[in-house]
Amino acid sequence: KIPVIIDTDPGVDDVIAILLALASPELDILAFIVSFGNTDVNASYANILKVYQAISVHLEHHPDDKNRFPNFFGSNPILARGASGPLHGEIHSAHYFHGRDGLGGITERHPDLDLKISAGNPALHPQLIPTDKSGAELALELIRSHPARSITYIALGPLTNLAWALRLDAATVRERIGLVVCMGGALDVPGNTGPVAEFNFFADPYAVKEVLLPSHPDAGIPLDRFILAPLDITTPHELPFSIYKEKVDPLLETSASPSVGTCGKPPLTHFTSSFLEMTREIMLGFGKDAMELHDIVAVWCAIDNPPVADEGGDGMPTLRKGWKSLKRMFDIERTGELTRGMLVVDRRDQTAYPPGANCAEVQAELERHLLDHDALGSTALPVQV
């Protein structure tokens, strides 16, 4: 099993990515570290509890579904509050897309939800171990206490927590981290937060600089252990809502026992369909009847690419199972009037910019068809068939 830390700002696609992780026996979820991002840090924290509560209620009524979530019982993740804002400057969130609660306004829209959601009471969820440590402290502690190069750090929100962990003890993080898989940035495609920036990198471009593009070669995460999943590869991975209804919703249905208080649906189906409602309305406004699977691609990539002891020495991480990597040179704009969070790609002779100086070699995974709809129906939503 791959020990993973999931750093997240849930967020509708984050939640589906988390459901994928909970349904994936390949992973051992050590921790959830939440941060500001799509919503504020407290709502992010509450949303992890909501996911656990939704699964708990579901399994209460459908105990036969237990084997669909091997990590719900098999892992005891620690839950930590991480950054409440970026390293510098003001907080930007994505309420316009994810709703004020980060989950498509699920609680206001669906007072009928029978989830007994109690955001402030982690004791409700014996599978989760709450901690008062900061996200960065917890990450560092786990990286120290697990075998060197074993942990994959899956970053699904702003990179702020990882930047803080590096500030606390860069040598340990650099030496012992197995792999970082990060959803963020837009290289050769338009942004999704204004014309040029992707949301996670827009939300804290300073953290991106420290984690991925440091001015000193001995700082940041070593690039042979960093996989970037930018919008270039995540946007083309879509889940049409028609397929959700036809293929995924029925997969979540079960005839084992009647549903309770959830509009006639099993609780988990009701939960996922409910928080996707607003996403669908917004995407229809963009002319797409589909959801983009940003964070899901990052978890999928982490499942397929466990850390390897020896990276082969070409400065690139080793990717498997049809995933391909591409070297790019870029830097990040932190303060631009119009360009905050933009990845400025250097398309000139790359030798002018040695890695670790102003630009970096990074790896962008561009195999677009791994997570096709069949794969999603069978694996990426909260069931394994």
Instruction: Give the footprint of Ca ion on this chain (CB under 5 A).
Output: 9, 11, 14, 156-157, 295
Q: Check residue 305 for interaction with ligand BDR (CB under 6 A).
A: no
Selection from Ca ion, ligand BDR, none that 40 binds (CB < 5 to 8 A by kind) is: none
Residue with tokens 């879509």: 238
Answer whether 227's CB lies under 8 Å from 178's CB: no
Contact 53, 117 (CB under 8 A): yes
- Regarding 94 and contact with ligand BDR (CB under 6 A), the answer is yes
Q: Pick from Ca ion, ligand BDR, none: which does 163 bind, CB < 5 to 8 A by kind?
A: none
**CB of 298 within 8 A of CB of 229?**
yes
Closest to ligand BDR by CB, 234 vs 269, is 234
Query: CA–CA separation, 267 vs 212, rounded Å?
Result: 40
CB nearer ligand BDR, residue 202 or residue 323? 202
The tokens describing 104, both together, are 């498509």
CB-closest chain residue to ligand BDR = 199
Convert 244-280 to b/e letters by CB count within 10 Å (16 or more is b).
beebbbebbebeeeebeebeebbbbbbbbbbbbbbbb
Q: Does 279 bind ligand BDR (CB under 6 A)?
A: no
According to the binding rule CB under 6 A, does residue 11 interact with ligand BDR?
A: yes
Q: Is 237 in the site for ligand BDR (CB under 6 A)?
A: no
Q: Which is nearer to Ca ion, 17 or 316 (CB)?
A: 17
CA 95-98-101 angle, to 5 degrees, is: 75
**Nearest 5°: CA angle at 227, between 335 and 9?**
60
**Separation between Cα atoms, residue 210 and residue 90, nearest integer Å:** 18
Check binding of 83 to ligand BDR (CB under 6 A): no
Reply yes or no: is the peptide bond before residue 285 cis, omega within 30 of 0.
no
Cβ at position 12, least distance to ligand BDR in Å: 7
Cβ distance to ligand BDR smaller for residue 28 or 295:
295
Work out which of 160, 192, 274, 363 binds ligand BDR, going by CB under 6 A.
Answer: 192
Stretch binding ligand BDR (CB under 6 A), from 8-16, 72-80, 215-223, 369-377? 8-16
Q: Provide the token pair at 330.
A: 């870029």
What are the φ/ψ torsions at residue 172 (nearest 5 degrees)?
-65, -45
Write the interaction track for ligand BDR spanning residues 150-189; mark x where CB under 6 A is met and - where it is not: ------xx-------------------------x------
Instruction: Name residues contacting ligand BDR, limited to 15-34 (CB under 6 A).
Output: none
Q: Does 199 bind ligand BDR (CB under 6 A)?
A: yes
DSSP 3-state of 145: helix
Q: Which is nearer to ligand BDR, 157 or 220 (by Cβ)?
A: 157
Q: How is residue 295 annotated by DSSP?
A: H
- For ligand BDR, the binding residues (CB under 6 A) are 11, 13-14, 38, 94, 156-157, 183, 192, 198-200, 294-295
